[in-house]
Chain A
């Protein structure tokens, strides 16, 4: 009885919904070891054959070509949103730079030359991606919805540190707004991976962002 063993202070380990009593003496066949080897070989060859004939069912995702869907709330690489006329929505208020715990945002404010008396604009807006901790405070601090972290990009890598200081132009353009987003924990889906390449492959956009982006982007 497992309960009795516990009273005696004998440790059990819990595995596969059954108690395995480690202090139970081995039977003759277990002591012979040979039968247990055959059992072990049977387990491994079962895995081998199953995976050989159901290769596509393996949980591995071919990473750079295929990516896992990421959650809707995932904080990825930043982007600066634009007004309908293409200028940045940012008014260079420094709230994001102030909120930033990593101090990785650098802003240089300027005035519009065409006489817009109300707003400033960022002459320089740089984020040091190597210092950024992706906490999302800048997004929350922004009063103009000018900075977002909804690109879904997380694989930032380059050969020099300078290239990973993203300037205003990099942050404002060139990338599809929403990539690879969806329910990462979709229980119905056979595989959580979705193809997404930048050259016009299958890119799944979700409805919320589409509607939202209509007036922002």
Chain B
């Protein structure tokens, strides 16, 4: 092997190939997450139907096959694209058109740091299954997802409609308040795992406690889980915290004046944040891509580097899908809170409990030297 050839191979393997892999991941992640949205819409409508003793959507068909109603999202998409673009007379045009984009982009970006499988090494090339491995990790998610509130506020204000305005104001106060609980509830996990990079936390969760209990976040810090999931529901503006778009009070809230594809973007951002939040819950509390009792090294030893990522992606998807279903399930179970109840729940119940949780976790770590 000549030196030139060796150098070119080395450069290819260490420089070009990792960049190519990153680019492929950076394209594939948003595509997969975006194409999951129609499935989620289908799950929501069909699940709602079955929960309420109805059939759900089943009319749309191709040559008599309705594919269990899966064609409805496709039809919806076609309808949304074909709709007329209307601008309300009182809208602030620039911000009115900017708002849907500002809502969707952070929702997609937040998924970047979530690992869907352990990195594997094939012929000296490391393939990470995570778009960006950055040290702040979850702090990045909080930073990005709180940007979403700008889009909603902007939509509410720029529509020039008082119901939209109310929706935007409600969204702003609710999302900012629950952001606090969302962040603080995870601090106890950062303390336990001494890291806030998702991949490292997931690796730590593969270990076993006392030889038989997985070291998952829900087992080590159950209070944080309940705080986080409550705050995550509020953060996504989902029932029982769907006050920004409370139909019976303010028609549709911040996206009242939006139609067609612009409305679809608000819809998409809602489902995107559901996916992201479910992925975070899975990553932080349910061992992420870890298959129970089968840590990464053991799995790589058993299944090899080619098959094990797929098994781990499968495990991650199943766990995430469960929490996505929990969102839908809860929507058709719980009634909406009153606005003062939402604020009281946040500042008088969840916030003190989250602080106490950090304190107690700290004491336990200090005294038991975990």
Residues of chain B whose beta carbon lies under 8 Å from any beta carbon of chain A:
47, 50-55, 226, 329-330, 332-334
Specify which of A37, A41, A47 is in contact with B53 (CB 8 Å cutoff).
A47
B47 to chain A, nearest CB (A): 7
5 pairs from A and B in contact (CB 8 Å cutoff) = A37-B333, A40-B333, A44-B333, A47-B50, A48-B50
Tell whether, in the assembled complex, residue B52 and residue A47 are in contact, meaning their CB atoms are under 8 Å apart.
yes
B82 to chain A, nearest CB (A): 21
**Contact of A48 with B330 at beta-carbon distance under 8 Å, contacts A58-B53, A60-B54 already known:** no
B7 to chain A, nearest CB (A): 61
B335 to chain A, nearest CB (A): 9
Interface residues contributed by chain A, number (CB under 8 Å): 15
Q: How far is the CA of A58 from the CA of B52 in the complex (A)?
A: 10
Tell whether, in the assembled complex, residue B51 and residue A48 are in contact, meaning their CB atoms are under 8 Å apart.
yes
Tell me whether A45 is interfacial, beta carbon within 8 Å. yes
- Neighbouring A residues of B52 by C-beta, 8 Å: 47
Q: Quick one: which of A20-41 are within 8 Å of B by CB? A: 34, 37, 40-41
Tell me whether A52 is interfacial, beta carbon within 8 Å. yes
Q: How far is the CA of A40 from the CA of B51 in the complex (A)?
A: 12
Residue-wise interface mask of A (47-63) relative to B, using a CB-CB cutoff of 8 A (1 in contact, 0 not): 11001100100111000
Q: How far is the CA of A60 from the CA of B49 in the complex (A)?
A: 11
- Neighbouring B residues of A44 by C-beta, 8 Å: 51, 329, 332-333
Q: How far is the CA of A37 from the CA of B52 in the complex (A)?
A: 17
Q: How far is the CA of A55 from the CA of B329 in the complex (A)?
A: 19
- Neighbouring B residues of A45 by C-beta, 8 Å: 51, 329
B56 to chain A, nearest CB (A): 9
Specify which of B51, B332, B334 is in contact with A37 (CB 8 Å cutoff).
B334
Q: How far is the CA of A59 from the CA of B333 in the complex (A)?
A: 21
- Neighbouring A residues of B50 by C-beta, 8 Å: 47-48, 51-52
Specify which of A34, A41, A51, A52 is in contact with B333 (CB 8 Å cutoff).
A41
**Contact of A34 with B54 at beta-carbon distance under 8 Å, contacts A40-B334, A43-B333 already known:** no
Q: How far is the CA of A55 from the CA of B55 in the complex (A)?
A: 8
Closest to B331 in A: A44
B164 to chain A, nearest CB (A): 31
- Neighbouring B residues of A47 by C-beta, 8 Å: 50-53
Specify which of B54, B332, B333, B334 is in contact with A58 (CB 8 Å cutoff).
B54
Residue with the greatest number of chain A CB neighbours at <10 A, chosen from B50, B54, B55, B330? B50
Residue-wise interface mask of A (108-132) relative to B, using a CB-CB cutoff of 8 A (1 in contact, 0 not): 0000000000000000000000000
Q: How far is the CA of A47 from the CA of B333 in the complex (A)?
A: 11
A44 to chain B, nearest CB (A): 5
Tell whether, in the assembled complex, residue A41 and residue B54 are in contact, meaning their CB atoms are under 8 Å apart.
no
- Neighbouring A residues of B51 by C-beta, 8 Å: 44-45, 47-48, 51
Tell whether, in the assembled complex, residue B55 and residue A41 are in contact, meaning their CB atoms are under 8 Å apart.
no
Q: Quick one: which of A108-164 are within 8 Å of B by CB? A: none
Q: How far is the CA of A100 from the CA of B332 in the complex (A)?
A: 49
Q: Which 8 A-B pairs have the closest CB atoms?
A: A51-B50, A40-B333, A44-B333, A60-B55, A44-B51, A48-B51, A48-B50, A47-B51
- Neighbouring B residues of A43 by C-beta, 8 Å: 333
- Neighbouring B residues of A55 by C-beta, 8 Å: 55
Residue-wise interface mask of A (145-185) relative to B, using a CB-CB cutoff of 8 A (1 in contact, 0 not): 00000000000000000000000000000000000000000
A50 to chain B, nearest CB (A): 9
Tell whether, in the assembled complex, residue B329 and residue A58 are in contact, meaning their CB atoms are under 8 Å apart.
no
Closest to B59 in A: A62
A176 to chain B, nearest CB (A): 24
Residue with the greatest number of chain B CB neighbours at <10 A, chosen from A48, A52, A55? A48
Q: How far is the CA of A43 from the CA of B51 in the complex (A)?
A: 9
Q: How far is the CA of A11 from the CA of B188 in the complex (A)?
A: 47
